[in-house]
Amino acid sequence: MVKLSRYAHTFELDGAVALYHSLRMKPVYLNRESYENLQAWLAGSFCNTLEEASDAIKKEVNELAKFKILTRTDDEDEKVLKFVKSKIPKPMINVCYMILSEQCNLACKYCFLGNNDSEKRSNFTLESMSKETADKVIDFFIRQIKLSDLDDEDNKPVIIFYGGEPLVNYEVLVYIAEKINALRRTEKCIKNTELSMVTNGLLLTDERIIRLKELGVSIGISIDGFNEEANKMRVDLAGNPVYSRILKTLDRCKELGANASLSVTLSEETIKNKSDILQLVDNYGVHSFGFNIMMSSEEFVLPQTYNEAAAQFILDEFVELRKRGIYEDRIMRKLKAFSKAQVYFSDCAATAGGQIVIAPNGQVGICHGCLHDKKYFVADIWNDDFDATKDKNFIEWSQLTPINKEECQDCPALGICGGGCPINAMNLKNGNTIHDLDERFCVHSKMTLEFLIKDLYRIITEG
Ligand code: SF4
Ligand code: SF4
């Protein structure tokens, strides 16, 4: 019998209806009349085979069956899910967060690492990564890439210098970047390695900007928005705001041709103002953005309305920025999955089983969000036998995708979601674990899917 798939969802549009299979990911747009005819046919008793559809909707019915929105057998949904599950990647390491120092020169009031919390802060080691440790870190990362058996030509390993604040340990950052650049010639598996750094920007001097540019280290500056007010939670250890100092850094990066990208934490204040971002693009030549929805926890509670407002802000800015040829990372990842109709399994490298995090003392973990308590830090760089691809913790993380979660099966955003951040899910409520839903992210995923379906319809109807 022909019926709608469990994974089929409908979206109301102006004068039309979109039908969409959350795993097959190809929307089919029907005018209202065809949709009503389809509903009538499915409700009747002559829908045992596709051939029984009337001529008025035969073409549409075949299209819907092609994209699995209509199923013909009871096990069709199960087969699609089984096929998608067979594609969930196993752990394969190609991203390394190098925590050069756990210390940070700021104490942002929402910091998920805990720099605003004296108790958590006291857990951060004072010791920075030494050059001897850095040598072992590089060997360890190369070994994990080799064990992952990725194609040397296609693979682009990524090293992200992170903290605390990585520039607290600038000397070792330069040491590692120089060594990686020298090793590219002999170690094929790292020849395409991208080097980047996430910094608050306050310790960047002209000399450092020039040197980082020479070394090919891209600079990502974290910021909370595009005016003083939006950045009021971004403060130094003495509680002073730092926004004007960040602007000076952006100015120097532009002047010296170092094209910084921005990692923007969306504070409640940031999302109130949609125009300042364009001014920043114009004034400082910023061409790359990543927007981060804030994490809430029992100690840092955000209002219910925040998630929706933040998701809407990202979509509105996406529309504005793309007019200027600038594409925000978070939406782009979903847009790519949607346009290629390819399920997007994970929204971060940790849940993709692709990432290792190395603390200054050589401990090896999965996610930098656990630096303060070293949860999921499961090895160290002196363990020559460690193989992340076979480690039970890395395997557990690589399976956190919504595709494996029963509570996600009826969600329209299943194929584009990626599941958000397990650490946020864990921190949301007492008793939660990494296996719970990152509810803040659900709002963003569902709104993004609706936007993509409507945007595609607009493009089609505008010819
Ligand atoms: S789990 Fe969360 S904090 Fe950790 S890397 Fe992923 S998104 Fe970031
Ligand atoms: S995590 Fe939320 S948005 Fe994502 S698939 Fe599951 S229910 Fe849907």
Q: Quote the ligand 1 centre to 270 CA distance (angstroms).
A: 22
The reported pLDDT for the residue numbered 417 is: 96
Q: Quote the ligand 1 centre to 32 CA distance (angstroms).
A: 42
Lowest pLDDT segment from 1-5, 62-66, 186-190, 427-431: 427-431
Q: What percent of the chain has pLDDT over 90?
A: 70
Q: Sorting pLDDT into bands at 50, 70 and 90, what band is 120?
A: confident
Q: Quote the ligand 1 centre to 451 CA distance (angstroms).
A: 25
The reported pLDDT for the residue numbered 283 is: 84
Atom of ligand 2 nearest to the CA of 419: 1
The reported pLDDT for the residue numbered 155 is: 92
Q: What is the C-alpha to C-alpha distance for residues 351 and 220, in angstroms, rounded to an integer?
A: 22
Q: Is the pLDDT of residue 427 over 90?
A: no
The reported pLDDT for the residue numbered 112 is: 65
* Three-state SS annotation for 46-109: CCCCHHHCCHHHHHHHHHHHHCCCEECCCCHHHHHHHHHHCCCCCCCCCEEEEECCCCCCECCC
The reported pLDDT for the residue numbered 179 is: 98
Domains of the chain: 3-86 (no CATH), 95-391 (3.20.20.70), 396-450 (no CATH)
Task: Name the DSSP class of 235.
Answer: B
User: Average pLDDT in the 154-176 region?
Assistant: 95
Cα 178 to Cα 129, 142, 181, distances in angstroms: 16, 15, 5
Cβ partners under 8 Å of residue 190, min gap 6? 141, 142, 145, 157, 180, 183, 184
What does the DSSP assignment read for 259-311? --EEEEEE-TTGGG-SSHHHHHHHHH----EEEEEPP--SSSPPPTHHHHHHH
User: Average pLDDT in the 179-184 region?
Assistant: 97
User: Average pLDDT in the 376-385 region?
Assistant: 97
What are 428's two structure tokens?
């949301």
Residues 162 and 128: beta-carbon distance below 8 Å: no
User: Average pLDDT in the 85-97 region?
Assistant: 96
Q: What percent of the chain has pLDDT over 70?
A: 98
Q: Quote the ligand 2 centre to 25 CA distance (angstroms).
A: 15
Q: Sorting pLDDT into bands at 50, 70 and 90, what band is 289?
A: confident
Q: Quote the ligand 2 centre to 418 CA distance (angstroms).
A: 8
- In this structure, the residue with its CA closest to atom 1 of ligand 2 is 419
- In this structure, the residue with its CA closest to atom 2 of ligand 1 is 421
The reported pLDDT for the residue numbered 297 is: 66
Residues 21 and 67: beta-carbon distance below 8 Å: yes
Q: Sorting pLDDT into bands at 50, 70 and 90, what band is 269?
A: confident
Task: Name the DSSP class of 163.
Answer: S
The reported pLDDT for the residue numbered 127 is: 87
Instruction: Give the mutation target among 346, 401, 423, 439 for probing the ligand 1 site: most ligand atoms within 8 A of CB.
Output: 423
Q: What is the C-alpha to C-alpha distance for residues 335 and 450, in angstroms, rounded to an integer?
A: 12
Residue 319 neighbours by CB distance under 10 Å? 11
User: Average pLDDT in the 12-37 region?
Assistant: 96
Q: Quote the ligand 2 centre to 104 CA distance (angstroms).
A: 33
Lowest pLDDT segment from 121-125, 210-214, 297-301, 408-412: 297-301
Q: Is the pLDDT of residue 148 over 90?
A: yes
Q: Quote the ligand 1 centre to 204 CA distance (angstroms).
A: 26
Q: Mean pLDDT of all residues in the chain?
A: 92
Instruction: Give the mutation target among 22, 434, 445, 452 for probing the ligand 2 site: most ligand atoms within 8 A of CB.
Output: 445
290/435: higher pLDDT: 435
Lowest pLDDT segment from 261-265, 271-275, 329-333, 440-444: 271-275
- In this structure, the residue with its CA closest to atom 2 of ligand 2 is 442
What are 131's two structure tokens?
């050059």
User: Average pLDDT in the 379-400 region?
Assistant: 97
pLDDT tens digits for 57-72? 999 999 999 999 999 9
Q: Quote the ligand 2 centre to 11 CA distance (angstroms).
A: 17
Q: What angle, rounded to 10 degrees, do the helices at 439-461 and 305-322 form?
A: 40
The reported pLDDT for the residue numbered 119 is: 74
Instruction: Give the mutation target among 96, 346, 376, 421 for probing the ligand 1 site: most ligand atoms within 8 A of CB.
Output: 421
The reported pLDDT for the residue numbered 138 is: 98
- In this structure, the residue with its CA closest to atom 3 of ligand 1 is 369
The reported pLDDT for the residue numbered 113 is: 67
The reported pLDDT for the residue numbered 314 is: 93
User: What pTM was estimated for this model as a whole?
Assistant: 0.91
Cα 157 to Cα 24, 153, 339, 382, distances in angstroms: 29, 11, 25, 21
User: Average pLDDT in the 14-31 region?
Assistant: 96
What does the DSSP assignment read for 381-397? TT-TT--GGG-HHHHHH
The reported pLDDT for the residue numbered 105 is: 84
What are 231's two structure tokens?
């950045």
The reported pLDDT for the residue numbered 175 is: 98
Q: Sorting pLDDT into bands at 50, 70 and 90, what band is 440?
A: confident
Pairing state between β 8-13 and 16-21: antiparallel
- In this structure, the residue with its CA closest to atom 8 of ligand 2 is 411
The reported pLDDT for the residue numbered 290 is: 87
User: Average pLDDT in the 106-124 region?
Assistant: 74
Atom of ligand 1 nearest to the CA of 355: 5
Q: What is the C-alpha to C-alpha distance for residues 275 and 189, in angstroms, rounded to an integer?
A: 43
Find the angle CA(83)-CA(438)-CA(292) to the nearest 5 degrees: 105
